[in-house]
Amino acid sequence: LDRFDDELPAMVHGLKRQLVTFRRGAVPLRDAVSNLARVEAPVRADTIPYFRDLRDHIVEVVEGLDAQRDRVQAALDLRLALASHRMNDTMRWLTVVTTIFIPLSFLTGLYGMNFDAMPELHVTWGYPVLLTVMGTVAGGQLLYFRKRGWL
């Protein structure tokens, strides 16, 4: 299935190119046959109904090609929308993770400095208190994100 997902865009783009190529050939043919189907065209009068019928068939072919081209474009647009939706989900998760770790990194960096004048460094319970604060900050953010529906 993953291989099919990888090959599908190339197949659809190839199909779109073929439709455009067919249309490029059919439109001039439609115009030429339309000129022949007119009453003042230099053809025998008994062949004009056949040219008109041929013109009608070519018009149907051109309209069918246009409809198929629109369907192929809709499929490409749908695939692009799905990929964009997946990327938005990924970006949301990355944003949540980054938002949680920024204050934790700040606290870790602040207490990782090599200064003796930091009073919390000489307190017996300083490390567990810092871990508790960091856990509370991360837990609070997780609850907030869950409440907002971002998780």
Residue scoring higher pLDDT (150 or 147): 147
Question: What's residue 86's pLDDT?
Answer: 92
Question: What's residue 65's pLDDT?
Answer: 93
Determine the residue type at 56.
D
**pLDDT level of residue 81 (50, 70, 90 thresholds):** very high
Residue 78 has pLDDT above 60, yes or no: yes
Question: What's residue 147's pLDDT?
Answer: 92
pLDDT tens per residue across span 38-59: 767 677 888 888 888 998 999 9
Residue 31 has pLDDT above 70, yes or no: yes
**pLDDT level of residue 62 (50, 70, 90 thresholds):** very high
Question: Exposure pattern of 100-138 as b/e (b: 16+ CB <10 Å)?
Answer: beeeeeeeeeeeeeeeeeeeeeeeeeeeeebeeebeeee
Question: What's residue 41's pLDDT?
Answer: 65
- Beta carbons of 16 and 76 less than 8 angstroms apart: yes
Question: What's residue 3's pLDDT?
Answer: 64
Residue 1 has pLDDT above 60, yes or no: no
Q: Where are the domains of the chain?
A: 2-148
Question: pTM surpassing 0.75?
Answer: no
| Mean pLDDT for the chain overall | 86
- The CATH class given to the 2-148 domain equals mainly alpha
How many residues are present in the chain? Answer: 151
Interacting residues of 96 by C-beta distance below 8 A, sequence separation 6+: 145, 150, 151
